[in-house]
Amino acid sequence: METDVLLYAGLFFTAFAAATILPLQSEAALVGLLLTGHPAWLLLIVASTGNVLGSIINWIMGRAVERYRDRRWFPVKPESLERARGWYKRFGRWSLLLSWVPIIGDPPTIAAGMFRERLLVFVALVTIAKVGRYAVLIWITSRLAG
């Protein structure tokens, strides 16, 4: 039981960190736990919750960009901020439905904060994207694993 708690916590924190600007992927952890018999519904909840909360960190960073963007320690490059700004200006809040896509999914979550997207709208769209991605991954893995 204690081992399971640690495994789920590991999945949560991996999914959380993967949603931030850190270069991590949570899919392997989720698939590994799924293939070792952990319940798909619980994995979906744990990974999605961590991933959505990690995206909220990006939104918060976006809110703080103007105040901190010129600081040496600020983790996002100016080019990345401008790319995110352009993407968000062009596609608006609907770009958040692509927040599940590796690499290109993080900048819109930062831009949403920069453009002061309402948190409730942000969470709703990001949750749809993140839960959808993990649900599809679970479904494919279940079908392939037989």
pLDDT in tens, 100-109: 988 788 889 9
What is the Cα–Cα distance from 128 to 99, expressed in whole angstroms? Answer: 10
Regions of the chain short of the pLDDT cut 50: none
Residue ranges per domain, the chain?
Answer: 2-145
Its pTM stands at: 0.88
User: Residue written as tokens 């809040």?
Assistant: 93
CA–CA gap between residue 49 and residue 61 (Å, rounded):
19
Measured from the Cβ of residue 2, the count of other Cβ atoms closer than 10 Å reads 6
Q: What do you get for the CA distance between the two ends of the chain, in Å?
A: 26
